[in-house]
Structure 1
């Protein structure tokens, strides 16, 4: 019974850590654009928003207990460089400001149209700082107190919306392929794959604190907790995409926060605004607490304690508070190019460690795969920024799946297999001489 209770606490905490501002705003907006292509979009969004984050946690458990252990599987400096980039993205540059901005636009602005986002941001990060300043209490606080209330509200909204949808799904706005691509790439904006390799350390530490020290026990609890969080996320994501598709909104340029308010009001009437305000506040607050704690822990460990945890938490809250006043849509628009660069690299690292880590021990094949993903991701970002000319773009479109922003997948696999094959053949050719 204790183990089941611990799995539930850690699983709900992990769900709440993943389920933040982007996770609540993105699915309905996707639903508006895909029309009746609901299921293909749910599965595509689930790949980058659920499956890959789960594999991110597994990649850390296969390698050790922290992201540093995962990075050390390939290169000692990789964990420092890539970890720093990840923490900046999921911390004060993108994710943390977005939590406060979303809270203001959805939870505060509808009821107080004359309010100033600066005051909301100040109050939001004051609460975040108070909870994050004691990192050992983060998992229990989030898992036992905040998450169950959040799940109840969202389940009520989604269930009512599915039983009594305001309209039928709109006509096809995008093709099936376009809907899949949209769902897959919009999953980048959740930042959950980036967060998963960092959150894994927090979850593993919480598991050990509850008395599970052996590798088998520890991994079993972590995997079961991750599976529970994944099931919750699938239900919430699928439901929100469906609500967006049946919202009766034909204008794809509608602001994400306005769409969410419209849906909640259409389904729950005058109580909808209050329900969604509570959902937003809880979703954003739980994620902000976890992210702030992760940022402080990572950079404190990286600098071997020269930068104090309390200083880093305070700085993250202050910087995030300043950036949050720019607004949700501006933050999302700004975030896409850096995420389009770093996401393929992290996905490559996670997938290859999970699927090949037990058999391929050499580091060079992983390095080759990461280099290939980095090159293609750089080209994709240049395309997003409009830097490439027609000739360069036509050349890059010869790479399979490049037009769907998945051009890194096949080159990274080819590079991995090629380098592994060369290394294997060299090993076979050297072995007979060693036996002479």
Structure 2
């Protein structure tokens, strides 16, 4: 029998989806962008919201329409390509970027403010200790931290809410001058900065998790599942939008609280110290550290589980050990360096995720979805790779003739053209068969 959810259950599902996306790492990007954008803050913020909120929202809705996440959305692609995409996503949100970032954010906001000019040794010792604890908790797949996470997320949200109110009621500083990166194309710069949240990749996986939760609650009808997933996505998007706008405004009113910064964690720490004094700093440090720990356990355990099932070798605990060790190595490059290294890879990979979502929406209009999906994904990958190599600093002047190449979005028009060609070719193919 198909069950219906109460209003309370639907709200709970929405807040659970919001909690999936809101990691402590996500809160460090908007303040820095707000600080650097200066008077171009609103344009940069709009671009950021499109990729950090809009894309995850439309991805979850696409998952709802398709009846699942990446495996269902990619069913018209070769199985090997879907596996490769899933593997790439788990590497990106796991040991390559997102998981190591949790320890760096915890160090930046949870320990560094209390140390006098900490060096590389302090970071190394901290990341080793952090991921040894993550490894031990992940051996039991984080069951101990599940309950803790349910307490920490609401507390973190309350703290962010207090910060948001303070930003508008009692701003602690003034607006900084516009940084060079935000002078010419602040909207595009904000758009690409939104890639750093990696939430569009995560949304491809979360769709499956949310549908599993609905099935466990007795919601078996596919249309009802899709409706609840869409509502959850809208609630999560509203929550993320509120958090990001508040943090952008915080960064935009922080000159004087900080004079120069390397990352958003420094801005939030300084702002909390200015507002609430040292007790507030201790509370922030504790909450962010524990929130990062719960996020890290979730990422490491889910990656270990995926690679264990993919390879059928090594055992779950061995993959936990491998992932934790890789995270320690990556984390020791430092937060600012890790973010700068991740940008070219995200610039190259995000177009593929966006193309898959676009193809999913267009699928009802396709006469030959296998051909159309493969064409759209291939074109997005090829041109996204060009943008990624340009973002990495390679000389890609050979492709300067491409529209929007100079702003790092050469993939957009070719991908749209591939989508149109996929629709037309499908119709031509059907007419030929007739």
Residue 210 to residue 419, structure 1, CA distance change in 2 (3 Å): closer
**Post-superposition shift, 1:21?**
4.1
Cα distance between partner residues in 2 of 1:102 and 1:57: 27
**Post-superposition shift, 1:57?**
2.1
Query: What residue number does 1:196 align with?
Result: 203
Query: What residue number does 1:330 align with?
Result: 337
Q: Does the aligned pair in 1 maintain the 2:387–2:409 contact within 8 Å?
A: no
Do residues 234 (structure 1) and 237 (structure 2) align?
no
- RMSD after superposition: 2.7
Number of paired residues? 425
Q: Does the aligned pair in 1 maintain the 2:102–2:292 contact within 8 Å?
A: yes
Which residue, out of 78, 81, 87, partners 1:84?
A: 87
Cα distance between partner residues in 2 of 1:221 and 1:135: 27
**Post-superposition shift, 1:140?**
6.4
Query: What residue number does 1:167 align with?
Result: 173
Query: What residue number does 2:123 align with?
Result: 117
**Post-superposition shift, 1:109?**
1.8
Query: What residue number does 2:281 align with?
Result: 273
Which residue, out of 385, 396, 400, partners 2:399?
A: 396
**Post-superposition shift, 1:232?**
1.1
Q: Which moved more, 1:362-371 or 1:148-157?
A: 362-371
Q: Does the aligned pair in 2 maintain the 1:28–1:242 contact within 8 Å?
A: yes
Cα distance between partner residues in 2 of 1:143 and 1:65: 25
Q: State the SS of the aligned residue for 1:247.
A: coil
**Post-superposition shift, 1:181?**
1.3
Q: State the SS of the aligned residue for 1:110.
A: helix
Q: Does the aligned pair in 2 maintain the 1:53–1:193 contact within 8 Å?
A: yes
Residue 138 to residue 413, structure 1, CA distance change in 2 (3 Å): farther
Query: What residue number does 1:25 align with?
Result: 28
Q: Does the aligned pair in 2 maintain the 1:299–1:307 contact within 8 Å?
A: no
Do residues 409 (structure 1) and 405 (structure 2) align?
no
Q: State the SS of the aligned residue for 2:113.
A: coil
**Post-superposition shift, 1:23?**
1.2
Q: Which moved more, 1:240-249 or 1:38-47?
A: 38-47
Which residue, out of 150, 153, 159, partners 1:144?
A: 150
Do residues 365 (structure 1) and 372 (structure 2) align?
yes
Q: Does the aligned pair in 2 maintain the 1:133–1:310 contact within 8 Å?
A: yes
Which residue, out of 266, 269, 279, partners 1:258?
A: 266
Q: Which moved more, 1:168-177 or 1:16-25?
A: 168-177
**Post-superposition shift, 1:262?**
1.7
Instruction: Give the alignment of 1:175-324 within 5 angstroms.
Output: 178-248=185-255, 254-303=262-311, 305-324=312-331
Cα distance between partner residues in 2 of 1:202 and 1:172: 41
Cα distance between partner residues in 2 of 1:292 and 1:190: 17
Residue 53 to residue 133, structure 1, CA distance change in 2 (3 Å): farther
Q: TM-score, normalised by structure 1?
A: 0.88
Runs of at least 5 residues in structure 2 that lack an aligned partner in the other structure: none
**Post-superposition shift, 1:136?**
9.4
**Post-superposition shift, 1:256?**
3.5
Q: Does the aligned pair in 2 maintain the 1:30–1:182 contact within 8 Å?
A: no
Q: TM-score, normalised by structure 2?
A: 0.88
Cα distance between partner residues in 2 of 1:279 and 1:35: 29
Runs of at least 5 residues in structure 1 that lack an aligned partner in the other structure: 432-436
Residue 306 to residue 62, structure 1, CA distance change in 2 (3 Å): farther
**Post-superposition shift, 1:377?**
1.6
Cα distance between partner residues in 2 of 1:248 and 1:48: 26
Which string of whole-angstrom CA distances, capped at 9 and with x for unpartnered residues, describes residues 315-374 of structure 1?
Answer: 322321332232111211221121111111111112221x21222252212221222222
